[in-house]
Structure 1
Amino acid sequence: MKLTLFDLDHTVLNGDSDVLWCDFLVEKGLLGRTEFTARNADMAARYKAGTVGLKEFADFYVGTLAGRTVQQWEPLRQEFLADWIVPRITPAAVALVDKHLEAGDLVVMTTATNRFITELTAIYFDIEHLIATEPEMRGDLFTGSTTGVLNMREGKVERLHAWLTARGLRFKDCKSTAYSDSINDLPLLEAVKHPVMVNADATLAAIGSERGWPALQLH
């Protein structure tokens, strides 16, 4: 089994879904520009540096969904995909994903961003399988918190193992490849047989260079 894992933000997407979502909500007048933009920039910078607490990070962004239902958010989610996400997906990123899909790989998008705002992106890439941070729901209402193991750092490996086990597969039996830009994904890249850096941040690039990992630029 060829297992191919794609990180989303800054890997196959030229941008960060969480940050873009917040910018989108600010533009729509649903978040206060002055206060939230500063908090958003701080959170993004600390995540890139690997210094933010995982629960704090995840709940900060999932909190933007609080108090509304899936149905209430859906038109905005569709607008966000069309106007903010698709224009930031390059032909090179689509071609790379298509290459693995056409080869018959088991292709999975694995992202720290919550499922609700990333599942349409996975569909756009024709990726059937998405492992993402899960927003907590009360009925059809978003509570503003996350639930379960966060799909971040070591959590990506834990969630992947659980996902494979549920499908009767074992990670060690897979010919695994992972694409990512971020030092936050070092545990995942170290776990797979074929790690590939994409648009790598400085810290990951330094480590990957020492280890001889291949590097790509998709945007």
Structure 2
Amino acid sequence: MTANYPTPHDDAPLVVFDFDHTLYDGDSGSHLFASLIKRNPLRLLGALLVTPVAGPLVAMLPTRRTGISVYVWIATFGLHRAREFNRVIDAYVLKHEAQLRAKLLPQALQVFAEHRAKGDRVVVATGAPPELARAILAFVAHQGVPVIGSEVGPRFGAVGATRHCHNEEKMRMLRERGYGDIDVAYSDSTADLPLLLAAKEPVVVNPKVSKVAYFRQVLKPGTRILNWGCVDRGGDRG
């Protein structure tokens, strides 16, 4: 059954949610690209051949994006436009509906729905492809929520990120779309510190256990640090 939410007023509180490890248990983009690689023997062979070099790049934070881009190129070789990529995403989501539904975090969705029911302006800002987050949220009747994500375009016979919705760039992309004064922000990641620091009420959800103390240090006293069901992550439960 589709829920009916009030249309937010222009001056309603602005609430921004990250997607991965916040509404979704895991990295949705990595799950997508891994699936595209595994289903094609040639892509899988290519990924295995580059892993001795690309694998260590992914493991180290300063070079992580470079390493990931190698696997993205392998996963999307032969695609040339964002429209083609979006069709591939839609087919992937349809095929893996049960697994993707199971990755959505019920407690997170409850908070998400509560904000919408109150008439808040709810926006998802994610480093994942926006079509991926939209399609997964559509499973739970949240297809009407604006989604801002990494933009893609042609890259050497494949597609890749032309603008990564990440860190300060995520804030720039939000502001460009008119989402300036943020009332509440939910995210798991230190990469989203610009977002959390900009919000009147930052809420850290499902952080890495090793980052909890850091969040307490850099965010204002009393900031909630919660766990919404990611069993291998930190935060207060309940």
* 1:192 and 2:202 matched: no
| 2:24 counterpart residue number | 13
Offset, 1:115: 2.2
Is contact 1:19-1:40 (8 Å) kept? no
Q: Which structure has greater strand proportion?
A: 1
From 153, 158, 183, give the equivalent of 1:136.
Answer: 153
Instruction: State how far apart, in whole Å, the 2-side matches of 1:215 and 1:8 are.
Output: 16
Percent identity over the alignment is 23
Residue type at the aligned position of 2:133: T
Is contact 2:58-2:68 (8 Å) kept? no
Is contact 1:2-1:105 (8 Å) kept? yes
Q: 1:42 to 1:103 in 2, by over 3 A?
A: farther
Which deviations, in whole Å up to 9, do the C-alpha atoms of 1:125-162 show, x marking residues without a partner? 50520000011159xxx841222x32101111111110
Residue type at the aligned position of 2:177: W
* 1:67 and 2:84 matched: no
Larger radius of gyration: 2
Q: 1:71 to 1:110 in 2, by over 3 A?
A: closer
Q: What stretches of structure 2 of length at least 5 have no aligned partner?
A: 1-11, 230-238
**TM-score when normalising by structure 2:** 0.73
Which deviations, in whole Å up to 9, do the C-alpha atoms of 1:158-211 show, x marking residues without a partner? 1111011xxxx6x23x5x111111111111111111110001124542232233
| 1:24 counterpart residue number | 35
From 139, 143, 158, give the equivalent of 2:172.
Answer: 158
Which deviations, in whole Å up to 9, do the C-alpha atoms of 1:19-53 show, x marking residues without a partner? 2113322442363166179477656544xxx4236
| 1:180 counterpart residue number | 187
| 1:79 counterpart residue number | 95
Is contact 2:127-2:166 (8 Å) kept? yes
From 131, 135, 141, give the equivalent of 1:120.
Answer: 135
Is contact 1:9-1:15 (8 Å) kept? yes
Runs of 4+ residues deviating >4 angstroms: 36-44
Q: 1:19 to 1:197 in 2, by over 3 A?
A: same
| 1:214 counterpart residue number | 224
Instruction: State how far apart, in whole Å, the 2-side matches of 1:25 and 1:122 are.
Output: 20
Which deviations, in whole Å up to 9, do the C-alpha atoms of 1:107-127 show, x marking residues without a partner? 111111122322212333505
Residue type at the aligned position of 1:120: A
Instruction: State how far apart, in whole Å, the 1-side matches of 2:54 and 2:23 are.
Output: 22
Q: 1:203 to 1:157 in 2, by over 3 A?
A: farther
Which structure has more RCO (C-alpha within 8 Å, separation ≥ 6)?
Answer: 1
